[in-house]
Structures are given as C-alpha cells and as structure tokens.
C-alpha cells in the first residue's frame, strides 16, 4: 500500500479528530497546503477504498472516521517491514527478535531455565 502526502495528512488529521466530513477536512488542511474541496473529497474516497477510513452518510455528506487506529496501523506497517519472520524467508531486515504470537510460554520458560542454569554455572566457575 502506498500513501500520497495528502492522504497521509488526511489520515493524521482524522486520527486526531476521530471524525469529520470533507468540508471540515478541507477547512483544516487548506490552511496549510491549499487545494480544492474536490481534491479532499477524492482523497477521502481513495482512503476509504484502501480500507483506511470508514464512512457513513449523514444528511447529504459522508462523515469519515479512521477504520484502523493509529498504533494498529503502525504495528501493521512494522509487521510488513519485518515480514520475513512471518511468511517470507527472504525479507530484508535484521530484527532483534522474531515476531510470532504463538511461542508457547512453557518453551520460553524452558529456555529461561537453561539461561539461569548456565548463569549459575558460570558464576560458580568464576568464583572457583
């Protein structure tokens, strides 16, 4: 997914205000970057089609709100960037740890136990 500058600004604005119609978005963004109401309307429509905004009709106008929370979206982007650990063996990042939701707690505990044993062994070795 790619986002243009305006799309990004609209998304940031809606994350801040939670909900707005095209006129409100235009009023806010035209202060800093200009542009017509039509441009804002088509940007909102594009973001809606990308699944990033939800909308409902109120009177004659659509009221837009973010379909995904800011941090959930950023979390998804981080996951996309570090995808190799999920479904792509040839990813191009080097991550400190893997992303996986299904590492069993008992297996992690076993590893923790192993670390503690080794730590104690090395401390004994150092003291001797």
Partner 1 sequence: MILGQAALWLNLLTIAALCLFVGILLVSAAFTVITRVPLFSVRLSARARRVLLWSAVSLPWLAAGAAATVLVFPGVLGERAASLAHWHHIHAFNIFSWHGLSALGFLALTAVVLVRSIHRAYRHLAQLRLLLQVCEYEAGDTTIIRSPRAQAFTSGLLRPRGFYTSGLRDGVSADEFAVVRLHEEAHVRRRDPLKKLLFALLAGFFPGAQRNYLNRQMMLCMEQCADEQVSRQGWSETFIAQTLLKVTRLSNGLPLSGLQAGNAGSPLCCHFALDQLDARILYLLADNKGRSCPTILIGILFLLLAASCLFSVDALHHIIETLFSH
The footprint of partner 1 (CB under 8 A) covers: 1-3, 8, 11-12, 68-69, 71-87, 89-103, 107-108, 111-112, 114-115, 118-119, 122
Token couple for 30: 């035209």
Cβ 79 to partner 1 shortest distance, Å: 6
Using the structure block, give the residue that is written with the tokens 């801040």.
Answer: 16
3-state secondary structure of 62: strand
Minimum CB separation from partner 1 for residue 65, in Å? Answer: 16
Q: Please tell me the number of Cα atoms within 13 Å of 98 on its side-chain side.
A: 11
**Pair 22, 62: CB distance under 8 Å:** yes
Cα separation, 10 vs 78, in Å, equals 21
Q: Shortest distance, CB of residue 58 to partner 1, whole angstroms?
A: 25
Q: Which is nearer to partner 1, 37 or 80 (CB)?
A: 80
Cβ closest to partner 1, residue 17 vs residue 74: 74
CB 59 to partner 1: min, Å: 30
Q: Indicate the residue among 35 and 91 with the shorter CB distance to partner 1.
A: 91
What Å distances lie between residue 7 and 2, 53, 96, 106, CA to CA?
A: 9, 11, 32, 45
Q: Give the DSSP letter of residue 69.
A: -
Minimum CB distance to partner 1 smaller for 51 or for 58: 51
């Amino acid at each position: 997914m790619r986002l243009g500058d305006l799309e990004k600004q609209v998304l940031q604005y809606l994350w801040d205000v939670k909900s707005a119609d095209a006129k409100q978005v235009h009023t806010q963004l035209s202060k800093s970057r200009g542009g017509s109401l039509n441009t804002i309307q088509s940007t909102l429509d594009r973001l809606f089609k990308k699944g990033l905004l939800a909308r409902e009709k109120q009177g004659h106008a659509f009221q837009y709100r973010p379909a995904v929370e800011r941090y959930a979206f950023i979390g998804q982007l981080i996951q996309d960037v570090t995808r190799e650990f999920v479904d792509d063996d040839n990813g191009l990042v080097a991550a400190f740890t893997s992303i996986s939701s299904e590492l069993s707690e008992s297996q992690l505990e076993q590893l923790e136990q192993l670390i503690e044993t080794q730590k104690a062994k090395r401390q004994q070795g150092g003291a001797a």
